[in-house]
Structure 1
Amino acid sequence: MKRELQETADGSHTLFIPEMDEHYHSVNGAVQESRHVFIEAGLHRQEKKDITVFEVGFGTGLNAYLTLLDAENEDRSVDYFSVELYPLDPALVRALNYGDMICPEKKMLFTALHSAAWNEPVKITDHFTLHKIQGDNNSCTLPEDMDLIYFDAFAPDKQPEMWSQEIFDRLYAHTSEGGILTTYCAKGVVRRMMQKAGYSVERIPGPPGKREMLRAIK
C-alpha cells in the first residue's frame, strides 16, 4: 500500500493511505493524540511499576517511542510487545519528525525502535525491552498477563476484521487483573464487544477533535 507523509495540526507527522482513505493518526495532532489516548489515559493509569504492554499496530513507532521516554523519566520497567503485519519502509521512517520534535537528545532511540530485529526481544534501554512481532494480530502468540493494551488498529469501517468479538475475547484472556485497554474508538458496538469479553468499559474525553474514547479495565 502507498503511504504519504503528511503534517498534522500540532506539527507532527502522520501517514495517509490513499487506497483506504485512512490516516495513521488524527489530523488534529498525531503526537497529542497518542499522548492523550495511550500515555495519559493508559500508561499513567497503570499503577504497577514494572509492566507488560501490548500494542495492536506498531505503525510509525510513535506510541512505543512515547512509552519508552516515559519509562526512562519515571524509572519504570516496560516489556513492550507490538504486532505489525506491514512494517514501514526505512526511508519513510527516516522522514518522520517524531525524534526531532519530541526529544531531540534521545532521537536515536526512535531509530533504534525501528532498526530492532523482528520476532525476538531487543533491549533498547535498561528500562525498555521491545518485542516486535511481524504478523497478524488475529493469529500471533500473545504475551501472558498484559498490564496495558494499546488498541491502535485502523478504524472499524476501514479494517473491520481487527474489531471482532473473537479478538477482544482473546485479549481479555491474556490481560492481567487490573489490566487496562485504551483505544481512540468510541463506537457503541466496540464498547459492547469489550463488555461481552468481560472488561469494565468507560467512555472518557477524547483527544482534540474527538469527543470521546474508550478505556476498558479487567
Structure 2
Amino acid sequence: MTTFRPVVLARGHGISAQAVRNYERDGFLPPAERTAGGYRIYTEVHAAALSAFLALIPAYGRSTAGRIMAALTGGDLDGALTAIDHGHHRLLRDRETLTTVRRAVGHLTAEPVSDHRTRTVGELARRLRVTPATVRNWEAAGILGPARDPATGYRVYRAADVRDAELAHLLRRGGYPLEHIATVVRQVRTAGGTTTLARALDDWQRKLTAQGRAMLDAATRLSAYLDRLGLG
C-alpha cells in the first residue's frame, strides 16, 4: 500500500501538514500508524478521507463536514448519512424559499402601486382580503411599520407598506412563519426595493447551484472513501 508523509499528503491538497495533523486529531481522518520513531504514516485511505472532507466543506459547510467524517471514523455510517440528508433538506428548503420569494417579487414588480395615497388598516385589509387583525399581527411581528396620522393617531399605510403587505400575504399563503417573512421584508427594504432584491436573488440562485454541484462532487469522493473503508 502506498504511504505518505504528512507534508506530501498535504501538498497534494493545497493545505499545510499541520492542517492534516489537526484533521486527524479532530477525528476527520482515521488514526495514522506510527513508525518506530513516532512519525505518522498516512495511506491511500487517509488520502481518500482527506479528499472527501475537503469536498464536503463547500457542499455542507465545515461543521457538518466534520460531523460526517467523525461519524465515519467512528464507524457510524448511518449517522454520517443522516447528516447528509439534513444538508439536502436544507438546500431543498432554500430552493423552495427562493422560488416563492422570486414569484412574490415578480408579482410586485409586474403590478406596481400606481397611486401614492395612504390607506387605513381596513382599506389595506380589504385590498388583501384579510382581516384587520391579521394586518395588525403583521405589524406586531415587525413585517409592517405604518405611520400614524398626527391628528387621529390612526395607522396610515403608504405605497411601501402596501408592497410589504402584499409580499407578506403571498409568503404567508406559502406557509412561511411570520418571523421568516419579517426577515424577507427587511431584505426588500434594505435592498432599496424589489429591483435590487431581484439581483440579490440571482446571486442566491448561483450560490445554491454551486452548492448543489459541490454536493455531487462530494458524493463521488465520499463514495470512494467508503469503498476504501469497506463500508456500505
- Shorter chain as denominator, the TM-score bin is under 0.3
Larger radius of gyration: 2
Higher RCO (CA-CA < 8 Å; seq separation 6+): 2
Give the TM-score, by structure 1 length. Answer: 0.19
Bigger helix fraction? 2
